[in-house]
Structure 1
Amino acid sequence: MAAALAAAAPAADRPAGGWRPLFDGKSLDGWTPKITGQALGADPLGTFIVDRGTIRVSYAHYGKFAGRFGHLAYRLPQSAYRLRFEYRFDGTYLPDVEAWQHSNSGIMFHGQAPETITRDQQFPVSLEFQLNGADGREPRPTGNLCTPGTNVVIGGKLETEHCIRSRARTFPNGRWIKAELEVTPDGRITHRIEGVPVLTYSAAQLDPADAEARPLIDRAGGTLAISGGYLYLQSEGHPVAFRKIELLPLN
């Protein structure tokens, strides 16, 4: 396992038991932004802000998106856990984003260490619990999986598609949606939306065909398997808010 991914995961803070908040509702203490084109920790346009007990992705100071993907990293890596949170899309997307960015955000997990993300890298090598809102009349499920620099196994088969749809229904923007991610000690991963399992897979691994994953594979001595890593909240061009972000360690 590459140190850049999850070698430090056993050091993650573990309370005496029960769920613990990752967000205090008042500040971004414990969270660090990484915006494409900026150094780690720099967020000159205030993309990630605290607003009435939520972490909000704000574009109030943007004219255009201009490929400035953002990720807000939690301070410690995690390995086996349940993560629950609520999210809500509102407002409108920036004028220069692509159609797939409409009502689109996510929670990245099993991610590379923030300090290993290059200045112009758009996404951390990770798995993404993709969050979608409605956009037009076509079905647009939430709770999907996207895999920047990674692959997984579904039904005994290595799945190399970049994004895999869940069984969730389409939810309208403007309402809070409950989501939960479960990563068991044996590497089984489940996405839940409103308490319902919508996607399950296992055997998360680095993709040797991906240019951004290859340096991590080299650091790991050729090992592909991923058993943990960092959590990130995502900014993809549409305003979104997160609240009630809580984690329950399973190991």
Structure 2
Amino acid sequence: MKKSLTILALFCFPFLSFSQDVDPKEWKQLFNGKNLDGWHPKIRNHALDDNFGKTFRVADGLMQVRYDAYSSFDEMFGHIFYKDKYSYYRIATEYRFVGDQATNGPGWATRNSGIMIHCQAPETMGKDQDFPISIEVQLLGGLSNGKPRTTCNLCTPGTNVFYQDKLDKRHCINSTSKTYDGEQWVRAEVLVLGDSLIQHFVNGEKVLEYTKTQTGGGNVSGHDPSLMVEGKSLAEGYISLQSESHPVDFRKVELLNLCGCTDPKASNYKSYYVKSDNTTCEYKKKRKKKA
């Protein structure tokens, strides 16, 4: 079944990589542009929902990541989790890097953030855990130095993937994207099909693809070891956005669920669903004829 879904995706999903191919009303806006309702921050060395220094905030309709309350970053990596978990979906955000990096932020984290998918539940993170066990869609801004710096790369905190049909245990794999310098807005989109196929897109162009997401490997500290089962399939999880020491704005975070009712007779049937969950089907009741 997984193999058939992968084949289906390879042939049928190029059109799903572009948001204009599905009615925009079908997308669920995870960020409402007004507040952080539905989101839960987890900052290293702080408890879940302790949004230290208002690291994650809303201003001018944007979800902002800021560090004005930090005297020093001190590796207080942060993540803000959406309340629901998903397995088959498309997630998209429009982001830009702004301003200067927080004091004592690591050099590699300059103009660096990410979309974390298939995350462990936020309440299972250790207080001093640095990154959730997850698949990271790494968002990078160019350094305006004339050197290429791709975005929508793959990084694997506590996970591994198959890349080009082979188990690849590198922590990060670069995409084929262009470099985006300055404070320009960039649209990052990810197609997620459980553990069978994940594709990254930048401004509508596919830049990376891999399969067979699973737990294992390293690059996470402070976690519960029982959650790190080597080679265990990772087919669902939560979504989070990163705080890695550089200010970043998100003006849109939206999701198209690809799992739902696949019975054409149901009122909530969607032709773009690729994973059936017919327990969600809704049917219009027939009116009884009057005697």
Deviations 1:63-122 (A, max 9, x none): 211111000000011100001110000101023122211000001010000000000000
Deviation at 1:54, TM superposition (A): 1.1
Which position in structure 2 is the counterpart of 1:21?
Answer: 29
Q: Could you say what the CA RMSD is over the residues aligned between the two structures, in angstroms?
A: 1.7
Which position in structure 2 is the counterpart of 1:149?
Answer: 158
Note the 1:55-134 alignment, pairs <5 A: 55-134=63-142
Which position in structure 2 is the counterpart of 1:179?
Answer: 188
Residue identity matched to 1:153: F
CA contact (8 A) 1:149 1:213 kept: no
1:195 aligns with 2:217: no
1:53 aligns with 2:61: yes
Deviation at 1:44, TM superposition (A): 2.5
Which position in structure 2 is the counterpart of 1:13?
Answer: none
> Whole-Å Cα distance in 2 between the matches of residues 24 and 184 of structure 1?
25
Deviation at 1:132, TM superposition (A): 0.3
- Local SS of the residue matching 2:85: coil
Structure 1 pair 61–186 and aligned structure 2 pair: CA distance change class (3 A): closer
The higher-RCO structure (CA 8 Å, 6+ apart) is 1
Deviation at 1:185, TM superposition (A): 4.8
- When Rg is computed on C-alpha atoms for both structures, the one with the higher figure is 2
State the number of aligned residues. 232
Deviation at 1:187, TM superposition (A): 2.1
% of aligned pairs identical?
44
> Whole-Å Cα distance in 1 between the matches of residues 206 and 167 of structure 2?
21
Residue identity matched to 1:74: Y
- Local SS of the residue matching 1:100: helix
Deviation at 1:213, TM superposition (A): 6.9
Which position in structure 2 is the counterpart of 1:6?
Answer: none
Deviations 1:173-221 (A, max 9, x none): 2111011010125621000001000000010000066774741146xxx
**Structure richer in helix, relative to its length:** 2
Give the alignment's TM-score, normalised by structure 2.
Answer: 0.76
Structure 1 pair 148–228 and aligned structure 2 pair: CA distance change class (3 A): same
CA contact (8 A) 1:185 1:250 kept: no
1:227 alignment partner, one of 213, 221, 235: 235
> Whole-Å Cα distance in 2 between the matches of residues 158 and 108 of structure 1?
20
Deviation at 1:18, TM superposition (A): 1.5
- Which consecutive residues of structure 2, in runs of 5 or more, have no partner in the other structure? 1-24, 260-291
- Local SS of the residue matching 1:225: coil
- Which consecutive residues of structure 1, in runs of 5 or more, have no partner in the other structure? 1-16
- Local SS of the residue matching 2:209: strand
